Chains A and B, each alone.
Chain A
Amino acid sequence: MIEPGKASHRSSRVLYYLPMTLRTLTLVFAFSLIALTALTVAYLSNTEPAEVGDVASVEALLEQPEASTTSTIPSPTTDPPPPTDEDAVRPPKVSVWSGLLADTDPEQAVVPTRLTMTSIDVEAPIISTGVNTTTGQMAVPGNVTDVAWYQYGPRPGEDGSAVLAAHVDLAGQGPGVFFRLRELDPGAIVEIEFSDGSTRRFRIEARTIYDKQELPLDTIFSREGSPVLTLITCGGSFSESSRHYDSNVVVYAVPVQLPEPGPRL
């Protein structure tokens, strides 16, 4: 004769020997449920989402406008010659310029000198840097207090991506000036001061995090496209053995346009 429920008979007997009352079990269950919920909330509130804002549309601003009918390869450009007095009488199709050094005075270089981001309490000097010739990477300051501007790319506000990079932290020096870059949200304002005393304001559009192997270098260092200010630091997970982060936090900002004259009230 087959008794229904006999299959569970053995486990029921095991449970019978457990010194737990129904009340205790209910309490443990409830407490562990509450603890798990609390932990999840704590973790989520501590972790910034990987991507905020429309990253793709900002990066599209840096796409190089190609003449699609001729070639998909970006073609180098010969520098536009300075205008000459005779321009008016020459046919427009061939421009003419003097090659003499005296006639090719380089323009006075205006460089960014100071960065202010009040929403994350950052006010820091900007230094001009280039490339670390050993690693081929962008040269960054040896301290955690300076912000580096990649001087071979556009200036902030010029066409293309102007790159500002700074440390998230440095061993022995602690948190860096861009420690809180991963908290910078769309809408926040970035102000940059230049060596000629002028300032320009930018508005954060998007923030994302890239694995360093997948960092879109051609986009981030693009010298063409609409003006974009690109702020970069390190992030993601940290390798104790190599003493490096595996990712880059990238924040994109665009120039703040002067407000249109509004309707009179």
Chain B
Amino acid sequence: MRNLGRIFIVALLLLALPAGAAFAQTSDGTVTVLHGIPGDGGFPVDIYVNGDYSAPFIPGLTFAEFAGPVTLPAADYSIEIYGAGADPASTDPALGPLVVTLPAGANATIEAHLDASGAPTASVFVNDISEIAAGNTRLTVRHTAAAPTVDVLANDGVLFSALSNPNEASGDVPAATYNAKVVPTGATDPVVFEADLALAEGTSTIVYAIGSLDGGSFTVAVQTISGLGATPAGVPTGTAGLATESFPIALALTGALALVALAGSGVALARKSSN
């Protein structure tokens, strides 16, 4: 009965799965916004979406701050960024309008940042939220700073090489704390950034290089997405066979002997008494 019940539940899930997946993939996306443009006092900005000036979609966001995540229908969005408190009806935006596409079903980060030469721009990154093998972690590095091409070192070994603005590199590695360094590509110094990153198991850690190297505002902003970890494949906890629950052989032999004697004597008794 229990197996039947399980089969029934599995069948129900199989029926429900395509419907759920289709729904998730055709309608919404998840968006996080990152402010990666340095400026005076952290350059606070108001962000307006699709020309709706009644209220900022995100008010007062400053350099290295994230906003979100919010779930939005997958579509093209027009984004305008104004200095905090500026009147969008009577002034020009500091950046934009920029049209960005939110792909269906995607987990995306929209980032306002500098290009390699220091001019403001914006990028949409789709975050990899596929399952991570048990025990592993996912590290993604996005170069969105006014800085030359770099290498990323993990524990002094090259993890990602020749990363340039506005590109990203990503990999799954065993969960641990890594010493991370950013260096000019092909070199080991000068170290333009160094930090110990505790990368949690089953979690995607996305490191954004932001700011301007020459302007002295170069730093990193970190976004994490957890809940991506797979489960271990099993629990191996015994190799001696001392706790086995199979029927002991001596007991089994005695039982069989007793059973034969019981049957034989029973039959014989029946015959005797019938005579």
Q: Which residues of A contact B (CB under 8 A)?
A: 8, 11-12, 15, 18, 20, 22, 25-26, 28-29, 31-33, 35-36, 39, 42-43, 47-48, 70-79, 81, 86, 89-91, 93-101, 104, 106, 130-131, 133, 135-138, 140, 150-152, 163, 165-176, 178-179, 182, 212, 215, 217-218, 220-221, 223, 232-238, 240, 243-245, 248
Contact = CB atoms under 8 A, between A and B. Distances in A.
Interface string B220-236: 11111111110111111
Contacts of B17: 72-73
Contact of A42 (B32, B58, B251, B265): B251
B57 interface: yes
A254 to B, nearest CB: 20
A215 B234 contact: yes
Nearest to A131: B135
B100 interface: no
Interface residues of B, number: 83
A15 B202 CA distance: 76
A29 B238 contact: no
B238 A170 contact: yes
B242 A29 contact: no
Given A73-B21, A167-B237, A174 B70 contact: no
Contacts, number: 260
A179 B243 CA distance: 7
Nearest to B273: A22
B175 interface: yes
Interface stretch (B61-69, B85-93, B115-123, B152-160): B61-69
Nearest to B241: A238
Report, nearest first, the 6 A-B pairs whose CB atoms are least far apart.
A99-B221, A131-B135, A234-B238, A238-B241, A169-B240, A221-B231
A104 B134 contact: no
A18 B271 CA distance: 12
Contact of A168 (B69, B70, B242): B242
Contacts of A221: 231-232
Contact of B234 (A8, A94, A170, A212): A212
Nearest to B246: A237
Nearest to A98: B65
